[in-house]
Amino acid sequence: MKNLVLVGFMGSGKSSVARRVAPQLEFEMIDSDSLIERRAGLSISQIFETRGEEHFRRLEEQIMTELADRNRLVIATGGGAVLSAVNWANWRRSAVVIALDVDSETAFERTRHHQHRPLLQGEDPLAKIQHLLAQREDFYSRADARVDTVGRTVEQVARDVLDLYERRVAD
Ligand code: S3P
pLDDT at 170: 85
Q: Which atom of ligand 1 is nearest to the CA of 10?
A: 14
Report whether residue 10 contacts ligand 1, using a CB cutoff of 6 Å.
yes
Could you list the residue range(s) of the whole structural domain that residue 105 is in? Answer: 3-167
pTM of the predicted model, to two decimals? 0.98
Could you give the CA distance from residue 61 to residue 87 in angstroms, rounded to a whole number?
Answer: 6
Residue having the nearest C-alpha atom to atom 12 of ligand 1: 79
What is the tens place of the pLDDT at every residue in 154-171?
Answer: 999 999 999 999 999 987
Count of domains for the chain? 1
Q: Which atom of ligand 1 is nearest to the CA of 8?
A: 14
DSSP H helices, 77-151, are 85-94, 104-111, 125-140
Q: How far is CA 139 from CA 12, 76, 143, 145, in A?
A: 15, 16, 8, 12
With H, G, I as helix, E, B as strand and everything else as coil, classify residue 94: helix
CATH number of the structural domain spanning residue 148: 3.40.50.300
Could you give the CA distance from residue 15 to residue 74 in angstroms, rounded to a whole number?
Answer: 10
pLDDT band (50, 70, 90) for residue 69: very high
